[in-house]
Structure 1
Amino acid sequence: MTDRVAPSVRDRLMSIWREAATQSVPLPSEPQLAAELGVSRSRIREELLRLEGEGLVMRSAGSGTFANAGALHLGLRLNQSFEYAHMLEEAGFEPTTEVLAAGWAALDARDADALGLAVGHSAYRTQKRWLADGVPVMLAVDLIPAHPRPTPVDPATSVYELVHELRGISGEWENAKVLARIPTADERDLLVEHTAEAAILDLEMTGTDRFGTAIYLSREVHRQGVIDYSVIRRVRTTL
């Protein structure tokens, strides 16, 4: 018999969220959720704060916690950042990650300027491709400024893990520039069957630590027409 991993508090809370969003009703109160999930009210409060930060719920004192029903049918969230293979998996795809190139390089003028470093500073560079159900959907070049080390690192791990291994720190924010453009010939070759007329989504992201220091640079190009991308934004009003 195969052992089954028990669902996490987050998974169980998301199940309750989906039911509330589907039925257009508020979520149960914090005491009710704590009793149902068998955890403390403070743990429930922390989880609800995370969901609120992700745009999945709106909490109103005296009225309750309301699920964002529109989020039920959204695609991959551009305003979230975690390993892309896991994002594909959550979206229902079978992910594959391919390392196309990896090694130490010297920063050119453009990359050095983006990272706030001198031209020629050393960085660990990877180029990877992600496939969803066998279809190429995203290319990424990641640059992590660091001093070369004699022991090898595994380029197949996520940029977040590589940053932690090479720099000993973790990123706190990603600041992204978004552009739609026509792919280059090399990009078309790597994103199989992608035509010159079809635009790609281009993201340039600078990862920073809690002090705002740039610790990595990621350039991603996403093929359109395979995966839906989305953003959740809270409405700000002066009414």
Structure 2
Amino acid sequence: MAAPPSLAAPGGGAPSEALVRAFWAESAATGAPWPSEPDLAVALGVSRPALRESLTRLEAEGLIRRRRGDATYVNAPAARIVTRFDQQARFELALEDAGLVAEAEHLFAEQVVLDDATCQQLGVPTGAPGLAIGKRWRADGRVVMVALDRIPLVRSDGGRLPLPDPLQTPVRLFPLMQALRPDPIEWEIATPGASRPSRQEAEWFEDASLEAVLTLDLLGVSRRGDVYYRNRELHRPGAVPFGFVRSIRH
């Protein structure tokens, strides 16, 4: 039987959920059994309530399964999924986690008139002004993802938002949204699909022979239910393992 993962907090520092997740990753890699909740709480130096909160989140993500009166089971194959459809994360971090050298590049940023379909998705008046931003990511020098953002510069009531300097628009979407909107983004609604890349999209990928891309259409939703942006991601197939975990209820 494999030896259990180390339970010592590194450097004697304050334990956190990151430490619990690191322990899960080590357990998934080694195949070691998961300790009892009391033993894990003592070893990590956390309270039982705090540990239960972390374990509840891990179980909701399909990483572990707990049953009353039984052991805690670790979903080891889930560790192979580098990027999950059901979670939002910076793509360059996912690439780095896969052992790749990640690089983000800015393609363009310009003010546009949003098309009717986008206005309907975003809940803004027809013909509303918006900001169009294009970015791409490289992994070990090869372009593996292109992201196209559409951000309205009006609110749902028609009130105008300040136009940021397109040349100063950051590559990351969320700092820009924080500058434009007082309410934070709470959810992303994701719709996966696939398509044949256009000539322009193939040029962004620097690959005229690219026959298909994995697509992910994202809508950013505030806590009030307003849709603040539309993002379309185009992914090179096979570049990064994508997936999600479905828990089977018995």
Q: Which amino acid aligns with 1:169?
A: D
Aligned partner of 2:110: which letter? Answer: G
From 20, 45, 50, give the equivalent of 2:27. 20
2:105 touches 2:171 (CA, 8 Å); kept in 1? no
The Cα shift of 1:131 comes to 0.9
Report the equivalent of 2:199. 185
| CA shift digits 1:48-105 (9 cap, x unpaired) | 1221222211122222322111112223212211221222222222211111111333
- Looking at structure 2, the residues matched to 157 and 8 of structure 1 have their Cα atoms a distance apart, in angstroms, of 32
2:227 is the counterpart of 1:214: yes
- 1:80 is matched with 87
**Paired residue secondary structure (1:172):** strand
- After TM superposition, list the pairs within 5 Å mapping 1:7-86 onto structure 2: 9-24=16-31, 26-86=33-93
Question: How much has 1:221 moved relative to structure 2?
Answer: 0.6
Verify: 1:94 aligned to 2:107, yes or no: no
Structure 1 residue 22: deviation in Å? Answer: 4.0
**Greater shift after overlay, 107-116 or 40-49?**
40-49
Note the alpha carbon deviations across 1:127-161, whole angstroms, 9 max, x for none.
11111121101111112223342664742342222
Q: 1:191/1:7 Cα in 2 relative to 1: closer, same or farther (>3 Å)?
A: farther
Distance in structure 2 (CA, Å) of the matches to 1:99 and 1:110: 25
Q: Tell whether the 8 Å contact from 1:194 to 1:223 is kept in structure 2 after alignment.
A: no
- Structure 1: unaligned runs, 5 residues or longer: none
Structure 2 unmatched ranges of 5 or more? 1-10, 154-159
Match of 1:172 among 153, 168, 186: 186
- Listed one character per residue, the Cα deviations across residues 32-59 of structure 1 (whole Å, up to 9, x for unaligned) are 2222122222221222122122221112
Q: Matched residues, percent identical?
A: 34
Query: Residue 140 of structure 2: which of 107, 127, 133 is its match?
Result: 133
User: Structure 2 length normalisation: TM-score?
Assistant: 0.82
Q: Take 2:208 and 2:132, find their aligned partners in 1: how far apart are those partners? A: 25
Q: Over aligned residue pairs, what C-alpha RMSD do you find?
A: 2.4
Is 1:205 aligned with 2:212? Answer: no
Equivalent AA in structure 2 for residue 229 of structure 1: F
Residue type of the alignment partner of 2:170: A
Which of residues 141, 145, 166 in structure 1 aligns to 2:152?
A: 145
CA contact (8 A) 1:182 1:200 kept: yes
Q: Select which of 108, 113, 117 maps to 2:120.
A: 113
- Runs of 4+ off more than 6 Å: none
1:158 corresponds to 2:172: yes
CA distance in 1, matches of 2:133, 2:14: 34
Contact preservation (8 Å) 1:27, 1:67:
yes
Whole-Å separation in 2 of the counterparts to 1:36 and 1:64? 17
Where does residue 8 of structure 2 map in the other structure? Answer: none
Aligned length: 232
Distance (whole Å) between structure 1 residues aligned to residue 18 and residue 226 of structure 2: 34
Shift of 1:208: 0.9
CA contact (8 A) 1:138 1:220 kept: yes
